[in-house]
Structure 1
Amino acid sequence: MCDKHDTLAAKPAAAEPARRRRIWDLPHTCHCPLVGVGLPLGVLRKIVAKAVGGKVLADDYEVHVGAVSECGSRNRLSEAVQKELERRYAVVIQRYRPARDAKALEALWEAAVASGDVPGPFWAGLSHPHCTLELQERMCRDLHMIQHQAGAATRADISRLQALEQTNAALERELARLQQRSAAWQAERHAEQEAHGAALMQLRAQLVGRDSVLASLRQQLEELHATIPGLATRERLARQLADTEQRVHEVRSEAAAARAEAAALERQLNDARAALAAATAQPSPAIAAAATAATGGPAARAGTTTQRVTLHGLLAERVLCVGGRAGNVAGYRSVIEDAGAEFLHHDGGLEDNVARLETSMAAADLVICQTACISHSAYWRVKDFCKRHQKRCIFVDNPSVTTLQREILGQV
């Protein structure tokens, strides 16, 4: 048997075939795997129906067995199968054509098996003129095992497919439930949006009505203003009156505080005078000697005049005048010095440095603020400083010398 195979194997090497083998040139053992793998069942049915000239009523197995049986000889069906195989795998046949021996064909077949694409290479290899019996048997064996593996893989794929179908069914049920919830949620949101839209329309209607009422009231107000002559002036005067009353209230409050402070100081002065009178009535020899030495004796006391004067209930040695007209400063000085006090002056920030204002106020016992001729900054500085340091301040609206003299003489 082995000698026969060796003879058949050596025969192609002795005389190289001139053409590729046809399907009816192949042994019967090659027809079954070639027809089963090389042609899809639907294509095979069309070929058989065309060959017999009618519709094929046999089942898939009978069609396959009949086609395999007919491929053993050259006939109308085998020629149709040969033609379809050549057309379907023309590219693979061209790739196998350069192979010059069985070893090159075997290498191409091994590469095809490794890649998993065997239908085209199986036909191109079997029909190649250099395909030997050994290579033919190996290709059939390899294809047989590949079909077994494919069957096992198919069964595994079927099991996985069934599991996936069950999972898919569960997911579809979950999807249907979620879609139902989503539809309910969307319906609820739609109802809420409609309610909000209705409320918004109602609010807009209310706003339009309010704007209409407001426009009507404004028109009525304008008509009333037109019917009352001088209403704008009256309103301005009313605001000025309210501001004036507020200022008067503040001034009265400050005056009350100043009077209370002056009364306290007056009581302290009376107590000091009483203590001094008591001490003077019965002086001790040591006190009398000290008093005589301090005052320079009776002659010295007789010739000394104090520079303190009482202004607004306070003893004041230095009086600061802030602001006023520049031409009236000499008159201000004369009035203050005639009253017996030292005169200090600051122009209220017009030319003098405003930063020196607080230093001047700290050195004075009494501050006179000319409100009509002073900067806003200096005015608020004077008011704030006197309030914080409890320093007596007189606000004079008219910057004339007569007004200042009246203020001073009215308080002396």
Structure 2
Amino acid sequence: MLLESKASALENVVGVQSFSFGMEKAMQRTKLCELDTQFHCSIIGTCLTLKELRQIYRKVKFLPKSNMSDHELHRIFVGIAGESDYANRKLQKHLDQKYQRIIKQCAKIQSASDLKTMWQNAIDSGEVAGAYWALVTHPLVPDDLLDKIYGEIHMLSHLSGASIRVDLEELSILRRRTKDLEKQLADAFVETQKRLKEKDKLIHSLKNSLTRAEKVESELDKIQKQRETLEKEPLIRQLKKQTKELCKQVSLEQERGERMEKEAKNWKSVALRTEERYLNFEQRLAQTQQERDSLEQHLSTLTCPESCDPNCPNLCGRCILFVGGRPSQCSHFRHLVEQYNGRFIHHDGVREDGHSKLGANLSQADAIFCPLDAISHDAMNWIKRHCEHNTKQLVMMPHSSLSAFVKGLNEVAN
């Protein structure tokens, strides 16, 4: 009986310890590699800067790549986030150290409503990066709150993209104002020349005034000597009176000379500022003329007649595949390719057309164009592997625009 009671007590102790260990494990924060893969891209893009990513990249001793783009760096760390290796641990450690203050605050919260309140406060203040990392790894965060947090972070990235498009529209408006700026520059130049002439006249006048003042001062010295000689003569009073008048006149001339000198300095400062403004206008005009020359060269290519110079770009019937981008641009791109004597096909980047159609299009294409701002990660990786295995030319467009597409066509044609 004694042995049975000891065994029962031992089982109770083991059970309590197991329950305590399970509760402790349940209260631990979720690791980065344990999160759903849909969170990895937004965490890397929201919680870390490009400078921090490059620092971590060097710390984990990856082979450096001098021409690595920001998108390539982002894609590498999205892949690291889903692994459980040394690089992932370094990434986890950096995030925890960077946001340790808000992680400690979040660890004290034990209810879903308080977690939701904390997230709303972060949205209102605009400081969402630390709150995002602390909440998605919190052990008690519910799924519905996770979906809400992820959705709002996703929409914030779209709003950022919309802001960039507004900036581009404003840039287009500013370019249309080039002619007004050129006229203003010409008027400013004329006004500057006019003020410079006035300044030269004023300086010449001040120099003359200064010369006269020096002459008056010299004459004053002579008068002073004469006064000393004539003090004992009967005309002393008259001479004293004349001396006082001369001193007063000299004082007035000196004050006038000082005012003229001060005014000359002011005009000189105005002339220097005007000259700097003129140089600035001249630089902006040169930039505008370069953009104009580039557009004229592109337009001359588009309007090239059939009997043009044989050195004009020619695709020689090759097939160009454009993957991703916006459908509204495709008609313009198709027209350009046909102008270059080529054939154009488009795939939307596996949104609606599907992987099978992408594979068929890749087999037809001689060169593939991919805009980095409008294509999925999966489609991009698949196209890279296909081009490496089949030695096909891949043109990485920095953004989906007409100018980037024309530049890529010239590379392929040449």
* Bucket of the pairwise TM-score, normalised by the shorter protein: 0.3 to 0.5
Please give the TM-score of this superposition, normalised by the length of structure 1. 0.44
Computing the radius of gyration from Cα coordinates, the structure with the larger value is 1
Please give the TM-score of this superposition, normalised by the length of structure 2. 0.44
